[in-house]
Structure 1
Amino acid sequence: MNEILLFLLLGLGTGAVIAAIAVGIVVTYRGSGFINLAAGAIAMLAGFSFWALRTGELGFTVGTPLAVALTYAFVIVVSVAIELAVFRPLRTAAPLAKLVASLGVLLTAQAAMLLAFGTSQHPQPTIIPIRVVRMLDGAVPLSAFVLSGMVVAMTVLLWALYRWTRFGLATRAASENDIAARLAGLSPNELSLTNSMLASLVLGTLGIFAGSVAALDTTTLPFLVVPALAAALFARLTSFTIACACGLGIGMAESLIEYASTKSWFPTSEGVAWPGVKELLVFVLIVAAMFLRGASLPMRGELVEQRLPDVPRPKHAVKLAVPSTLLCAIALVVLPFDFRQALTNSLIGTVMALSLVVITGFVGQISVVQLALAGVAGFTVSHLAVDAGIGFPLAPLAGIAAAVVLGLVTAVSALRVRGVALAVVTIAAAVAVYNFGFVNPTWGGGATGSPVPDPHLFGINLGPNASYRGLDGNVPSPVFGWVALAATVLLSLLVVSVRRGTLGRRMLAVRSNERAAAGAAIDVRNVKLVAFGISALIAGVAGTLYAYNFGSVSADRFSVPLALSLIAFAYAGGITLVSGAVFAGLIAAQGLVPYALDTWFGLSGNWFLLFGGVVLIFTLIQNPEGVAGSFYRTAQMRRKRKVELTESEPASVS
């Protein structure tokens, strides 16, 4: 019993970090209506600021008090910049746009720190004394008690501030009814800005003091936002005390799993305890809470939805597909091997973006799990080929089927959860699948990855190592590029046919208003399940192509940061259009545009990640339809003006 209590106390440190991020999320949401995926990234910025000031990384060193003061000033300036440049212009935007905007902030902050300080962990100077407290036949770091005490104190102060002060009452009023608050003389913009600065103080405190608990790098703090989102979701994004308590509880529960992993009965693989069990626990908790507390249809207060990007009916799809396909097929032959590989990567990225067009663009369901579904298909192909000797085409068919099954399992959450809450569920699912599935040697490839042999059909090699090597005679072979091109074209036409058909109209009805759709005799449940199934099938095809393209599958190719960047690029391209998916494929990681920029101008992946984050934010503010949507709208306006001019000519002549 003492051991269990000891590990509960040991979990206070991590729990305090999760709780602080959760409280920061709640503060931001109450003030501006944003679920801030960048909350952990702001804490990361504070941590790097404090570290750089104390270690002389900036060319000078300052004392601890001044470093703390300057760090607070820095995060406040950052929060004001984010509020004025991102949150305020999108205050009345759709929840999807708000969520993706915070994702853009996350990508921008992460890329900036990668460019400035690299990928390695940095030992952060600690303010909390490095001591332990002897108790329960063990030792607990003093930092765990101090940090958790600080978070609890901040939570109590925030609770009192919002409950007993005029500012708190005004924030509550503005969050419940923006128009009524304006009529009462309140300024929602000023309240949002003040709340953003308060959230930055909470997160800045975390970044400064978390050095003894969390590693200072570009991934640890930013992606602790996932369990923090779970805690905030349990609190309905409104209660500071519940968010704090759940954050501490999640940290202690994860510590208990660490304790269990030391026992002989805990499952192991290659002599090591199964990884990812903590992330799986977070996912299960979120799904259970959302399923029990969610509703099959939105409540009356959720009926009014701000305008989502338009979903125009595709025209001339085949006419456009034929020349584009021929041009791409020729390019796969004449391009040098490295650009040929980048073009193939873009084709696979296009397929991945198509899965988001169906589930997010057509149905309005914000799913982050699509890349994980692709990974499931890829690892299935590898294990069947290597362990069971099952090759092409049965292995990819089985991989696609596995992706569809997991996609439908995930879709069960969508039956009672929607909007940004669904996004949180699927983020947790992506993290769980990555850590419990792909990193785990039992199911995935572990640290070394898992090989995938070339696909052969009737004795013909269809893979990157096929005998025909294009004009330059190098691998990868254009043959596999043609396979990827054929899959991309066929799936694009599938998505076009879905949009044009009855199913597409039902999807749009569900996206627009679930209650109205149900009133029109549309089975909302079945429409969502079918949409998740089609989207998972497309993602499964992308996963099998990815596996054959690289000759192996590894966990890092399906990580959560890549999943988030995929959504960012898909939204920037045009989340509701097939042409938007093509644009997203061109600018996706390892795609044609990033490779060309790196080759010609020396812009590395981190520079492109920074560029992508900034462009994503700019696109959301200036053009919510995306790049392809903008081109489509401009073309429509030109056609309309041309028709108007044509119709007016006879009258002018007469």
Structure 2
Amino acid sequence: MEQILLFAVLGLGQGALIAGIALGVVVTYRGSGIINLSTGAVAMVAGYVFWSLSTGFFGFSLPTLPAFIGALLAALAVGLLTEFAVFKPLRTFSPLAKLAASLGILLTLQATMLLVFGTQPQQAPNVLPSATVEVLGVSTPADRFLLTGLIIAMALAIGALYRWTRFGLATRAASENEQAALLAGLSPNGVSLANTLLSTLVAGLLGVLAAPIIQIDSVTLPLQVVPALAAALFAGFTSLWIACSAGILIGVLQSLVYYFSTQSWFPTDNGNAMPGMQQLVVFGLMVIALFVRGAGLPRRGELVEQRLPAVPLPERLLRPALLTASVAAIALVVLPFDFRQALTNSMIGMVIVLSFVVITGYVGQISVMQLALSGTAGFVLSHLAVQLRIPFPFDALGATVLATLLGVAAGVSALRVRGVSLAVVTLAAALTMEQALFTNTSFGGTAGVSVPPPRLFGVNLGPSAGFRGLDGNEPSPVFGFLVLAVVVGLGLYVANLRRTGLGRRMLAVRSNERAAAAAGVDVRGVKIAAFAISSFIASAAGTLYGYNFGSVSAARFTALAALGLIGFAYIGGITMVSGAVIAGLMTTEGLVPHALDKWFGVKGTWALLFGGLSLIVTLIANPDGIAGANYRRKAAKRAARAAAALPPPGSSGPPGPAPLAGGTHSREETVGLVTLDPKEVTP
């Protein structure tokens, strides 16, 4: 019992950090309606700044108090920069765009810290007293109680600020009805700025005070936002007291799970405690929170109708597909081996991004599980091919189907969840799969598992096939041709899906679920179909990945890698197949990063920084992505040529077609509002 009490007290430190980040998430949401995934990254920045200033990293060291103040100022500077450079320009954008923008901030901050401080974890000096106190006969660190008391006091102070001050009244008014708040003389932008600064101050403070308890690195602190989001879900993203209490209890529960993992009765994996149990507990708590609090977030009164990225109707498919495939096939033969490998990596990335086109671009749901489903398919492929000796292509098909069933099961369990809520839950699910499934040696393991090359009728179709291209080196272009065939086939399917009745029903659900249901659309059926299709595509990419490298490892399917992949999907154009092609070229170890590394020495971390900044710029300046911008330019040129071909005014020529609103394409193509055929809806 004494040990249980000790670990419960030790968990107060991590619980205080989770509660502080949860408070920051709730404060930001109340002020601007943004679920800020970068709140944990702000704590990381403050922790790194405090460590560097107090240890002489920059060639000089400061006493504890000046270093502490400098860290808080750094957190506030991050808050100011993100508010004016990111959140304010996105005030009238959709919640999905705002969530993606916070992801861009997270990636940017993470890459910046990696470039400045490297990958080595750091241990910050203690700010709070390191003495111990006796609690029921157990000697426990005093700083845990101080941290817990501090976060409770902060929650009470912020609650009083919201309840009894004009600032709190303005925050509630802007949250409930921004138009009415403007008429009353309140500034929603000012309210958002104040709350963002308050949020970053809380996160920065906890990042400094709790850093000695949780080491400072580019992964640990940023991902503390996941359990913090669980606490925020219990709070409905509104209640500070519930967020604080839930965050502290989650930290205590995680510490107890760690203690239980040291006991003989705890499940083991090759003699070691079963991994990922803490993440599994957090995911379970999120599911409970959604059941208790409801699936939706509290609605806010916005200034204007929120615009979603355009989903243009494909006009020609076969010709550009054949042209692009021909260029890629020639490149696979002509390019040297390293660029051939990078091109193959890019094509596999294109397949994964195609799954985002379906689930996010067509249906408007952000799922962070797609890369985890790819990893699941890769590990299952190894078991089927190595242990059960199932030949190609049945091993790949079996792995794809099994991983797809997992994705459908997750989709069915999340039918009541939509939009940004789905992103929160699937982020926790992806982290759980990474820690509990992929690192489990009975399924995968950190060392990875092998995958034999694909052989069909005795012919090697893998990277080690006999034909080696012009340079005679591996990987063989033969495997590249196989990947290219999959990319072309799935790309044509996804593009044609936009033309079908199911595609139009997807866009109707994306635009307004209630209106679609009122029109007779089976919203649940459409969502399940979308999860099935996107899961199948992502799983197919996982099998290609296994064949490509001859092995599958957990390091390539992390939750942070999944977030980066979503960022590249937005940059390319998350609603178009051509956007998936562009995103694939930019993915990790793809063609563009490899070229930048070889020709200009731009390493992977710089590419991560570029990806984060590009995501933010794309969302603000061009929310439709690179592919969307290219489509608009072509549409404008076609409209200009059509206008030039019309007879001059007063002539006797036949009248031309009336131009569409906007001059380029219809509103149906812009926001996905579609006219449904009566045969396409359920009675």
TM range (shorter): over 0.9
- What is the SS of the residue equivalent to 1:405? helix
Alignment partner of 1:80 is 2:80: yes
Give the secondary-structure state (helix, strand or coil) at the position aligned to 1:37.
Answer: coil
Residue 532 of structure 2: SS of its match in structure 1? helix
Instruction: Give the CA deviation at 1:211.
Output: 2.0
Match of residue 105 from structure 1: 105
SS in 2 for 1:139: strand
Offset at residue 296 of structure 1 (A): 9.3
8 A contact 1:280–1:436 mirrored in 2: yes
Do 2:236 and 2:297's aligned partners in 1 also have CA atoms closer than 8 Å? no
Tell me the alpha carbon deviations over residues 20-70 of structure 1, each in whole angstroms, 9 at most, x when there is no partner.
100011111111111100000001110111111111111211111111122
Distance in 2 (CA, whole Å) between partners of 1:329 and 1:354 is: 20
What corresponds to 1:601 in structure 2?
600
Task: Return the alpha-carbon distance in structure 2 between the equivalents of residues 460 and 405 of structure 1.
Answer: 30
Aligned to 1:234: 234
Deviation at 1:146, TM superposition (A): 1.5
Instruction: Give TM-score, length-normalised by structure 1.
Output: 0.97
The residue aligned with 2:464 is 465
In the TM superposition, what whole-angstrom CA distance separates every residue of 1:622-646 from its partner, at most 9, and x where no partner exists?
A: 0110010000011101100110001
Structure 1 partner of 2:93: 93
Q: 1:299 to 1:67 in 2, by over 3 A?
A: closer
How far apart, CA to CA, are the structure 1 residues paired with 2:103 and 2:384?
A: 36
Distance 1:455 1:258 in 2: 41
CA contact (8 A) 1:3 1:136 kept: no
Asked if 2 retains the 8 angstrom alpha-carbon contact of 1:291 and 1:417, the reply is no
List structure 1 segments (4+ residues) > 6 angstroms apart after TM superposition. Answer: 296-302, 650-654
**Is the CA contact (8 Å cut-off) linking 1:291 and 1:413 kept in structure 2?**
no
Match of 1:618 in 2: 617
The separation in 2 between residues aligned to 1:222 and 1:299, in whole angstroms, is 27
Bigger mean CA offset, 341-350 vs 209-218 = 209-218
Taking only aligned residues, the RMSD between alpha carbons, in angstroms, comes to 1.8
Aligned-partner Cα distance in 1 for 2:332–2:251: 50
Percent of aligned positions that are identical: 58
Q: Give 1:208 shift.
A: 1.3
SS at match of 1:140: strand
Which residue matches 2:406? 406
Query: Which secondary structure does the structure 2 equivalent of 1:467 belong to?
Result: coil
SS at match of 2:133: strand
Counterpart Cα distance in 1 of 2:249 and 2:503: 43
Provide the C-alpha distance between the structure 2 equivalents of 1:645 and 1:291, rounded to a whole number of angstroms: 59
- Matched residue, 1:485: 484
Distance 2:319 2:569 in 1: 24
1:299 CA drift (Å): 8.2
Q: Which residue of 1 aligns with 2:17?
A: 17
1:145 is matched with which residue?
Answer: 145
Q: Secondary structure at the match of 1:18?
A: helix
DSSP-derived class of the 2:565 partner: helix
CA–CA distance in structure 1, aligned partners of residues 529 and 476 of structure 2: 36
Distance 1:651 1:319, change over 3 A: farther
Q: 2:351·2:538 contact (CA, 8 Å) conserved in 1? A: yes
Provide the C-alpha distance between the structure 2 equivalents of 1:653 and 1:99, rounded to a whole number of angstroms.
Answer: 54
Amino acid at match of 1:572: I
**Is the 1:363–1:507 Cα contact (8 Å) retained in structure 2?**
yes
User: 2:443 aligns to what SS in structure 1?
Assistant: coil
**2:124 alignment partner in structure 1:** 124
Q: Is the 1:144–1:213 Cα contact (8 Å) retained in structure 2?
A: no
Alignment deviations for residues 289-344 of structure 1 (CA, whole Å, 9 cap, x no partner) = 21343369998989x96111111111111110011101100100000000000000
What SS does the corresponding residue of 1:11 show, helix, strand or coil? helix
TM-score by length of 2: 0.93
SS in 2 for 1:315: coil
Report the AA paired with residue 625 of structure 1.
D
Residues 131-156 of structure 1: CA deviation (Å, up to 9, x unaligned): 33343454322221121111111111
Rounded Cα–Cα distance in structure 2 between residues aligned with 1:154 and 1:545: 50
Any conservation in 2 of the 1:54–1:64 contact (CA below 8 Å)?
Answer: yes
Structure 2 residues without counterparts, runs of 5 or longer:
654-683
Amino acid at match of 1:339: F
Query: Is the Cα–Cα contact under 8 Å of residues 177 and 301 in structure 2 kept in the other structure?
Result: no
**Structure 1 residue 208 corresponds to structure 2 residue 208:** yes
Match of 1:559 in 2: 558
Which residue is equivalent to 1:182? Answer: 182
Q: Which residue of 2 aligns with 1:162?
A: 162
Letter paired with 2:635: Q
Q: What residue is the counterpart of 1:317 in the other structure?
A: 317
1:317 and 1:496 in contact (8 A); partners too: yes
Matching residue's letter, 2:106: L
- Residue 70 of structure 1 aligns with which residue? 70
String of CA shifts for 1:193-234, please: whole Å, max 9, x gaps.
Answer: 111111111011112111221111111100111111111111
Deviation of the 1:264 alpha carbon = 1.6
Shifted more, 305-314 versus 89-98: the winner is 305-314
Residue deviations 1:69-105, cap 9 Å, x none? 2222222122111100000000110011000000000
Q: Give the length in aligned residue pairs.
A: 653
CA contact (8 A) 1:413 1:422 kept: no
Contact 2:177–2:300, Cα closer than 8 Å, also in 1: no
Asked if structure 2 preserves the Cα contact closer than 8 Å seen for 1:283 and 1:428, the reply is yes
Give the letter aligned to residue 584 of structure 2.
G
Between structures 1 and 2, the one with greater helix share: 1
Query: C-alpha distance in 2, partners of 1:275/1:20?
Result: 26
User: Aligned residue for 1:247?
Assistant: 247
Measure the CA separation in 1 of the matches of 2:137 and 2:266: 23
Task: Find the residue that maps to 1:211 and give its secondary structure.
Answer: coil
Contact 1:143 1:212 in 2 (8 A): no
CA contact (8 A) 2:26 2:239 kept: yes
Give the counterpart letter for 2:256 in structure 1: L
Q: Which moved more, 1:115-124 or 1:534-543?
A: 115-124
- Partner of residue 641, structure 2: 642
Preserved contact between residue 342 and residue 591 of structure 2 (Cα < 8 Å): yes
Query: What is the match of residue 658 of structure 2?
Result: none
For 1:204 and 1:298, locate their aligned partners in 2 and report how far apart those are by CA, in whole Å: 26
In structure 2, what is the Cα distance between the partners aligned to 1:343 and 1:39? 35
In structure 1, distance between residues paired with 2:301 and 2:498: 29
CA contact (8 A) 1:573 1:581 kept: yes
What residue is the counterpart of 2:432 in the other structure? 432
Partner of 1:260: 260
* 1:571 to 2:592 alignment: no
* Whole-angstrom distance in 1 between the partners of 2:295 and 2:72: 41
